């Protein structure tokens, strides 16, 4: 059997198509050639990569050598500079020593002169100090008098009734300065028989605002005068209890539905007390808010009074606005009547103008008619003949015809 016959023999079947040995051999040869080409290409690429890495290593080595050379050069320059700096420092140090010695000598002479001047000024200041001490002695006498007044004020504030009167007087002064007469009332009697320190009449027939000026100042002073934490806690509890009782009393006595506002003011006669309550007794503030009681200081009360004053002014302006609106409505009614009368007068003038135009048309016609009549020529002739009579009748007929045409 020949080789060609072997190549033509069928090796296997793919579907209905036979595959010969020769086709398999050719395919294997082609694949082997492609594989060899791929291997040759891969070997060349690997050699190129190795060459590139070798070149990069060489370049890095050259850069490292150049850097080392630069470092050595910089080190040599640094050594030269250090030696130069050392020489400069040595020369400067000698110059500095000389200048320091010269300045010390001048300083010594100046200190001597200044000491003498200082001694002289000291004597003058001592004489002035004696004069000022005399003034201070006089001021000390004034301070002693002021201390007596402070002690007197403290004695006033130590009494509960006088202290309450002091807080109430501050509250009354603020309200009297901010509101007009008739807008407030002190010690007014409510429907339940209680008498708050002040009631402010709100605008627009709203319920009155109640202000109470009582405050447990002795408990707060006890907290300030306490020295240890246990005493402070004890007096703080007493202060909170006193405030709770006072807040409940205001809520139960002064908050009347339909007669007073839903919120009442608790006046504190000092800004420092107000700040201390909000800083160290937040629970009291929260309880007051729940009971619809607002704790106010003098400045807050003054601000509230100014707001109420603005509301009162607004209410008065609204009342005046109603009066102005009424007058404007009446003015508009008068203006409407005047407009109707003017329109009627305009109608009469229009009718008169129309009548005048009609009269002018009639007079124009009459004038034209008179002019036509004046332009006619009448001839005298004998009417014996019939021909003359006929001509006269015809002329008379023409004259009538013209007159009729003129009427049209």
- Please report which confidence band the pLDDT of residue 256 belongs to, taking 50, 70 and 90 as the band edges: confident
Whether 250 and 392 share a structural domain: no
Beta bridge partners of 212: 266
Whether 165 and 120 share a structural domain: no
For residue 106, being part of any structural domain is answered with yes
| Tally of CB atoms within 10 A around 294 | 17
Residue of 210, 233, 209 whose CA lies nearest to 223: 233
Any long-range contacts for 156-161 (C-beta under 8 Å, 24+ apart)?
157/217, 158/218, 160/218
Is residue 165 pLDDT above 70, yes or no? no
Whether 52 and 88 share a structural domain: yes
| Tally of CB atoms within 10 A around 179 | 17
For residue 328, being part of any structural domain is answered with no
CA distances from 365 to 372, 374, 399, 400 (A): 11, 14, 17, 17
Q: What pLDDT, on the 0 to 100 scale, is given for residue 61? A: 84
154-174: average pLDDT: 61
Residue of 225, 248, 274, 217 whose CA lies nearest to 234: 225
Beta bridge partners of 294: 265
Domain boundary among 279, 296, 321: 321
Is residue 401 pLDDT above 60, yes or no? no
- The DSSP bridge pattern shows strands 184-186 and 198-200 to be antiparallel
pLDDT digits (tens, 9 = 90+) for 34-90: 888 888 888 888 888 888 888 888 888 888 888 888 888 888 888 888 888 888 877
Is residue 317 pLDDT above 60, yes or no? yes
Structure tokens given for 315: 């209410």
Whether 180 and 300 share a structural domain: yes
Residue of 270, 263, 319, 314 whose CA lies nearest to 291: 263
- We report the CATH number of the domain holding residue 303 as 3.40.1350
By CB atoms closer than 10 A (0-12, 13-18, 19+), residue 254 is: buried
Whether 275 and 189 share a structural domain: yes
Under a CB-based contact definition with an 8 Å cutoff, are residues 372 and 402 in contact?
Answer: yes
Q: What pLDDT, on the 0 to 100 scale, is given for residue 156? A: 44
Q: How far apart are CA 147 and CA 153, in angstroms?
A: 10
The number of distinct structural domains making up the chain is 3
Under a CB-based contact definition with an 8 Å cutoff, are residues 222 and 235 in contact?
Answer: yes
320-343: average pLDDT: 81
Q: How far apart are CA 170 and CA 180, in angstroms?
A: 17
- The DSSP bridge pattern shows strands 198-200 and 209-212 to be antiparallel
Mean predicted lDDT score pLDDT of the chain:
77
Whether 264 and 398 share a structural domain: no
Whether 262 and 172 share a structural domain: yes
The full length of the chain comes to 408
- Please report which confidence band the pLDDT of residue 295 belongs to, taking 50, 70 and 90 as the band edges: confident
Q: What pLDDT, on the 0 to 100 scale, is given for residue 382? A: 43
Whether 165 and 287 share a structural domain: yes
pLDDT digits (tens, 9 = 90+) for 336-388: 888 888 888 888 888 888 888 888 888 888 888 888 887 765 444 444 444 55
Whether 179 and 305 share a structural domain: yes
Q: What pLDDT, on the 0 to 100 scale, is given for residue 7? A: 59
Residue 388 is part of which domain span? 378-407
For residue 361, being part of any structural domain is answered with no
Whether 77 and 202 share a structural domain: no
Contacts of 240 (CB under 8 A, 6+ apart): 281, 283, 284
Under a CB-based contact definition with an 8 Å cutoff, are residues 269 and 166 in contact?
Answer: yes
Q: How many CA atoms lie within 13 A of 20 on its CB side?
A: 10
10-21: average pLDDT: 68
Beta bridge partners of 186: 198
Confidence (pTM): 0.41
Q: How far apart are CA 172 and CA 170, in angstroms?
A: 5
- Please report which confidence band the pLDDT of residue 3 belongs to, taking 50, 70 and 90 as the band edges: low
For residue 60, being part of any structural domain is answered with yes
């Amino acid at each position: 059997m020949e080789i060609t016959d072997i190549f033509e023999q069928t090796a296997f079947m793919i579907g209905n198509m036979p595959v010969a040995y020769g086709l398999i051999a050719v395919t294997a040869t082609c694949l082997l050639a492609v594989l060899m080409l791929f291997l040759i290409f891969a070997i060349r690429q690997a050699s190129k990569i190795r060459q590139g890495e070798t070149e990069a290593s060489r370049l890095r080595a050259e850069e490292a050598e150049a850097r080392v050379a630069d470092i050595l050069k910089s080190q040599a320059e640094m050594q030269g500079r250090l030696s130069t700096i050392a020489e400069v420092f040595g020369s400067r140090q000698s110059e500095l020593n000389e200048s320091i010695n010269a300045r010390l000598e001048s300083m010594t002479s100046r200190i001597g002169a200044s000491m003498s001047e200082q001694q002289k000024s000291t004597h003058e200041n001592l004489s002035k100090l004696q004069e000022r001490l005399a003034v201070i002695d006089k001021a000390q006498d004034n301070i002693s008098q002021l201390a007596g007044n402070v002690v007197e004020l403290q004695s006033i504030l130590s009494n509960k009734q006088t202290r309450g009167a002091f807080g109430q007087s501050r509250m009354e002064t603020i309200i009297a300065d901010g509101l007009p007469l008739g807008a407030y009332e002190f010690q007014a009697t409510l429907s339940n028989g209680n008498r708050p320190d002040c009631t402010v009449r709100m605008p627009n027939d709203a319920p009155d605002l109640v202000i109470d000026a009582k405050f447990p100042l002795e408990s707060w002073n006890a907290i300030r005068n306490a020295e240890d934490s246990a005493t402070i806690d004890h007096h703080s509890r007493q202060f909170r209890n006193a405030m709770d009782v006072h807040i409940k009393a205001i809520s139960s006595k002064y908050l009347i539905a339909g007669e007073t506002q839903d919120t009442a003011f608790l006046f504190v006669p000092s800004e420092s007390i107000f700040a201390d309550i909000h800083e160290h007794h937040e629970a009291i503030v929260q309880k007051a808010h729940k009971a619809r009681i607002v704790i106010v200081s003098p400045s807050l009360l003054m601000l509230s009074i100014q707001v109420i004053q603005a509301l009162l002014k607004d209410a008065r302006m609204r009342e005046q606005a109603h009066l102005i609106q009424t007058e404007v409505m009446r003015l508009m009614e008068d203006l409407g009547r005047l407009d109707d009368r003017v329109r009627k007068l305009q109608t009469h003038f229009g009718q008169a103008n129309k009548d005048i135009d009609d009269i002018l048309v009639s007079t124009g016609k009459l004038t034209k008619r008179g002019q036509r009549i004046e332009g006619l020529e009448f001839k005298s002739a004998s009417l014996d003949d019939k021909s003359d009579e006929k001509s006269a009748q015809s002329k008379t007929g023409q004259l009538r015809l013209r007159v009729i045409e003129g009427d049209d």
